[in-house]
Structure 1
Amino acid sequence: MKVHVATFGCSANQASAEVMMATIRNLGHELVSEKHADVVVLNTCTVKYSTEQKILHKIKELGEKGIEVVVAGCMPEVQLDDIIRNNPDAHILGVNSISRIGEVLNSIVILGISSESTSRQALHVFSHEPEGFINVPRFRFNSNIHICQLSQGCNNACSYCIVRFVRGPLRSFDPDPIIEDIRQGVAEGCREIWLTSQDNAQYGMDIDLRLPELLKRICDIPGDFKVRVGMMNPFSVLPILEELLDAFEHNKIYKLVHLPIQSASNDVLKRMNRFHSIEEANRMINSFRDRFDDITLFTDIIVGFPGEKDVDFMKTVEWVKDYRPEKVNISRYTPRPHTKALEYRTLDSRIVAQRSNELHDVCEQVQITVRKNMMGWKGRVFVSKEAKVKGLMARTSSYKPVVIPDSNAIPGSFYEVEIFDATPGYFLGRVIT
């Protein structure tokens, strides 16, 4: 069969898509674009209402065209009724069941052979425990990047978050298989390792090993590669802060810290059921900046959370101006099923939109300042992959993106470059050594 896999959402979902695509190909099926597909696998995300609605429309549209649909990822775990309402014939693959994609495809083949029958039974496959996430073949989106998922689930209870209902409580994967998974990725030519989960700093809370020790073991793997540590919640970082700072000293680890504050108002954080104050988050950021001069800060902010007053929002605006994060993922709050915040009274959508636009403008001004400060910078970069635009994508030691437009540089290698220009999304550099 001809199969297309469309994936939405986070890097963990991207890793799952790579695993499923490898299985699909190894079973003898052909990976194709959507317009040529007999079967479309939708690897879904349900964090945002807008993404959910886009996917539900796609599920319905494909069914009306007579194309077989497999709905995988997060949505089947919490929105199965919505999926079936839009396409009763859709096959379902739960978030823990990516290794069982072959069962679904075999069922579709059998349905095709017996198509003369008027009866039809879509297959629904769910697994309680996560299987097949590491130490399995991959069909990578980028041959130079290996995504390693450290765990499944989360022990937090943020009042707006639907993902904890999808993926369940924290289940950290054993460290030895993780090390072997990354070792194999490096052996296959990957030179950039992305560590992903719902909260990387929670890793090991349920087993006898925490993230800093795992990072040290990863850095001991032989080879010339760099490690990107994904999102870590501030309240999960706090108990391991000093050990984490020590682990980040290794030159294989990008000096990038992704700490989602979500709001700079403690009143809003309390309603969000976040287990940190803005003062604690600031202390962590300052600790990283005191230790590493060139640390890059990413954060996430939810605008318009129920009960957010003007004064709360302005605290967040001032925080962005003061702490100057290089990247801010801004989300307009939308209610999600099953969450505590669904009970709260939402703000006027016009207020939410206005605040979102204002914060975007502030972030853009902050980023302009960062870009100006980098003009003429010279230093060592790691060329990680082909850029989406013409040229190669390189990263500084603090993960700042530098596109080298015209070069014979080789992905997976280090070069000395000079930054000579910038766009809203990346710097432009030339190789000087």
Structure 2
Amino acid sequence: MKVHVSTYGCSASQASAEIMKASIRDKGHDLVPEKDADVLVINTCTVKYTTEQKILHKIGAAGDSGKEVIVSGCMPEVQLEDILNQNPQAHILGVNSVSKVTDIIDSLGSDKGSIQVFMEEPEGFQNVPRIRYNPNIHICQLSQGCNFSCSYCIVSIARGKLQSFKPQEIVSDIKAAVSEGCREIWLTSQDNGQYGNDGDVLLPELLRMICDIPGKFKVRVGMMNPFSVAPILEDLLDAFDNDKIYKLLHLPIQSASDDVLERMNRYHTISAANDIIHRFRERFTDFTLFTDIIVGFPGESDEDFKKTLSWVEFYRPDKVNISRYTPRPHTKAWDLRKIDSRIIVRRSNELHGLCESIKLESKNAMIGWDGEVFISKEAKTKGMMARTDSYKPVVIPECHISPGVMCRVRVYDATAGYFLGNIVE
């Protein structure tokens, strides 16, 4: 069979696509561009309405063109009816069932109608072959699911309760990736801070186990919610104090108003999130902060939004993922009264403008910086992409050093997405 895999969403979704592509290849099928495919595997995301609509259109159009369609990822778990309305012949692969993709492909043409595979337990996420999007980066999923229920979040419904993968399996998976040449390890899940709450080994201890793996590599710890970081903060700070871990904290606040956070069912106050940020900044002088903010959540007043603007001005995060609130089916916020979309657009634009001005000031302040960087991968245009200890991206145009090597650079310019640097002899 000629198969194409397209994927949407987070790094965990990307990791699932890497696993499915390797499984398809190893079963003797051909991975081809979408236009040449007989079978289209669509690995879905349902966090945002706009993404959902794009995917549903693709599912319907692929079926109309005569292609066999396999839909995997989060959408089948919560929007199966929508998928089948678009394409009644679509085949379905539940979010835990990536290891079964070739079972469906091998069954095509048997006139069984829509084949649907849903598994209660996640299978085949660790220690399996991959076709990586980047051969230097290994995405390691730590767990499936979430034990919390933010009122806007459909993903926790799709992925179910927390199921942490065994620490020994994770360490073995990363050790194999490093031996295969990977020099960056991305740890991902719905919320990395929850890792091990259903077991004996929590995230800080897991990080220490990972850092004990021999080899030259760096670890990027993905998103952690404030309410999952707070109980492990002291141990987490100690675990981060290792040369192998990027000093990057991705801590979604979603809003700086406690009233909005309460309606979001976020389980934390803004002061609790602030305390975590202060503690990281006290511990690590070179530190990068990412956050997520939802604009226009039901009931958000002008005063609530001003609190968020003030927070951004004060804490000056290096990156803000801004989402305009859209209701998601099956969530607690679905029936809440919506804010006028024109207000949401205005607030979103204002927040984007503030974040861009802060980013520009931060980038200009970085010009002239001189320090050690870790060579990560080939740059998209020319040279190599490197990362500072706090994960700031530096492209070195005239560079032929292999990934995994440390070198000293001086930053001489900045673009919208990265810095430019020269190697200092």
TM-score (norm 2): 0.99
Equivalent AA in structure 1 for residue 254 of structure 2: Q
Equivalent AA in structure 2 for residue 244 of structure 1: L
Query: Residues of 2 paired with 1:328 and 1:300: CA distance?
Result: 5
Q: Name the SS for the 1:146 alignment partner.
A: strand
| Alpha-carbon shift at residue 409 of structure 1 (Å) | 2.0
In the TM superposition, what whole-angstrom CA distance separates every residue of 1:339-391 from its partner, at most 9, and x where no partner exists? 00001001000000010000000000110111011010011111111222333
- 1:287-326 matches, within 5 Å, as 287-326=279-318
Task: Tell me the number of residue pairs that the alignment of Structure 1 and Structure 2 aligns.
Answer: 425
Compute the RMSD of aligned alpha carbons: 0.8
Q: Name the SS for the 1:85 alignment partner.
A: helix
Are 1:219 and 2:186 counterparts? Answer: no
Partner of 2:423: 431
Partner of 1:18: 18
Query: Residues of 1 paired with 2:265 and 2:316: CA distance?
Result: 25
Partner of 2:59: 59
Query: Residues of 2 paired with 1:364 and 1:406: CA distance?
Result: 29
Are 1:173 and 2:165 counterparts? Answer: yes
Query: Residues of 2 paired with 1:335 and 1:143: CA distance?
Result: 37
Query: Residues of 2 paired with 1:44 and 1:241: CA distance?
Result: 33
Query: Residues of 2 paired with 1:65 and 1:390: CA distance?
Result: 38
Query: Residues of 2 paired with 1:407 and 1:187: CA distance?
Result: 24
Partner of 1:32: 32
Query: Residues of 2 paired with 1:38 and 1:259: CA distance?
Result: 41
Q: Is the 8 A contact 2:224 2:250 kept in 1?
A: yes
Query: Residues of 1 paired with 2:160 and 2:140: CA distance?
Result: 19
Are 1:154 and 2:132 counterparts? Answer: no
Equivalent AA in structure 1 for residue 169 of structure 2: P
Q: Is the 8 A contact 2:164 2:198 kept in 1?
A: yes
Equivalent AA in structure 2 for residue 302 of structure 1: I
| Alpha-carbon shift at residue 237 of structure 1 (Å) | 0.2
Which of 399, 405, 408 matches 2:400?
408
Query: Residues of 2 paired with 1:386 and 1:122: CA distance?
Result: 42
Q: Name the SS for the 1:421 alignment partner.
A: strand
- 1:130-279 matches, within 5 Å, as 130-279=122-271
Q: Is the 8 A contact 2:142 2:192 kept in 1?
A: yes
Are 1:81 and 2:81 counterparts? Answer: yes
| Alpha-carbon shift at residue 431 of structure 1 (Å) | 1.3
Partner of 1:43: 43
Equivalent AA in structure 2 for residue 326 of structure 1: D
Partner of 1:115: none
Query: Residues of 2 paired with 1:388 and 1:60: CA distance?
Result: 33
Query: Residues of 2 paired with 1:196 and 1:295: CA distance?
Result: 20
Query: Residues of 2 paired with 1:307 and 1:190: CA distance?
Result: 46
Which of 319, 323, 326 matches 1:327?
319
| Alpha-carbon shift at residue 102 of structure 1 (Å) | 1.1
Equivalent AA in structure 2 for residue 147 of structure 1: I
Equivalent AA in structure 2 for residue 420 of structure 1: Y
Q: Name the SS for the 2:334 alignment partner.
A: helix
Q: Is the 8 A contact 2:383 2:400 kept in 1?
A: no
Query: Residues of 1 paired with 2:281 and 2:32: CA distance?
Result: 46
Equivalent AA in structure 2 for residue 282 of structure 1: N
Are 1:4 and 2:9 counterparts? Answer: no
Query: Residues of 2 paired with 1:406 and 1:221: CA distance?
Result: 31
Q: Name the SS for the 2:58 alignment partner.
A: helix
Q: Name the SS for the 1:342 alignment partner.
A: coil
Percent of aligned positions with the same letter in both sequences?
Answer: 66
Equivalent AA in structure 2 for residue 197 of structure 1: S
Equivalent AA in structure 2 for residue 231 of structure 1: M
| Alpha-carbon shift at residue 120 of structure 1 (Å) | 4.9
Equivalent AA in structure 2 for residue 338 of structure 1: H
In the TM superposition, what whole-angstrom CA distance separates every residue of 1:152-193 from its partner, at most 9, and x where no partner exists? 000011000000110000011111111100000001110100
Partner of 1:114: none
Query: Residues of 2 paired with 1:389 and 1:286: CA distance?
Result: 37
Partner of 1:107: 107
